C-alpha cells in the first residue's frame, strides 16, 4: 500500500508560526515588546518561550492527526517534529548570542522552549491516540 502524502497546505499554519517565532526571537533586544503588567511577573518570558515553541510543535503535528498512516508511524513523525523544534530552540539561542544586538544565549530560554515542545508532544500524542481509538471504534461498529 502506497502511503498518502499530506498536502502542503496542511503545514501552512506551522510554517507561518515558524516565521512568527523567528521574528519574535531574533529581533534586537531593544525591539522586544513589553507587555505592561505581565512583564512584572518573574520569568514571564519563559512562559512566552514555552507557548511559542509548544505552538510550533502542535501546528506541525496537526496534519498527522487524521492522516491514514499507522499509529506508530505517526508517533514517529511527532517525535521527529519535537526534536526539530528543540533543535530550532537551541539554534535561536546561538543566533541571539552571535548575531542579534541586545540578545544573549540563555540556557533557561531553551529549557522553556523544550518544556513547551514536550507538553505539546504529550498533548498531540493524546489527541492522536484518541483519533485512532475513535476510528477503530467506528470500524468495529460498522462490521
User: Along the chain (143 residues), what's the average pLDDT of each consecutive run of 10 residues?
Assistant: 82 98 93 71 90 98 92 96 98 97 96 98 95 71 55
Res 139: pLDDT:
61
Res 1: pLDDT:
44
Quick one: three-class SS letters along the chain? CCCCCCCHHHHHHHHHHHHHHHHHHHCCHHHCCCCHHHHHCCCHHHHHHHHHHHHHHHHHHHHHCCCCCCHHHHHHHHHHHHHHHHHHHHHHHHHHHHHCCCCCCCHHHHHHHHHHHHHHHHHHHHHHHHHHHHHHHHHHHHC
Res 39: pLDDT:
64
Whole-structure pTM value? 0.88
Amino acid at each position: 500500500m502506497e502511503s498518502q502524502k499530506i498536502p502542503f497546505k496542511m503545514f501552512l499554519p506551522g510554517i507561518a508560526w515558524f516565521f512568527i517565532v523567528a521574528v519574535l526571537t531574533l529581533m534586537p533586544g531593544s525591539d522586544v515588546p513589553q507587555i505592561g503588567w505581565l512583564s512584572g511577573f518573574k520569568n514571564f518570558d519563559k512562559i512566552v518561550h514555552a507557548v511559542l515553541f509548544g505552538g510550533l510543535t502542535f501546528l506541525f503535528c496537526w496534519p498527522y492527526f487524521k492522516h491514514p498512516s499507522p499509529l506508530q508511524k505517526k508517533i514517529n513523525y511527532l517525535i521527529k517534529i519535537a526534536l526539530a523544534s528543540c533543535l530550532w530552540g537551541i539554534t535561536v539561542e546561538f543566533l541571539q548570542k552571535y548575531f542579534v544586538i541586545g540578545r544573549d544565549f540563555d540556557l533557561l530560554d531553551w529549557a522553556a522552549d523544550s518544556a513547551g515542545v514536550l507538553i505539546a508532544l504529550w498533548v498531540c500524542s493524546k489527541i492522536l491516540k484518541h483519533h485512532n481509538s475513535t476510528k477503530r471504534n467506528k470500524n468495529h461498529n460498522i462490521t
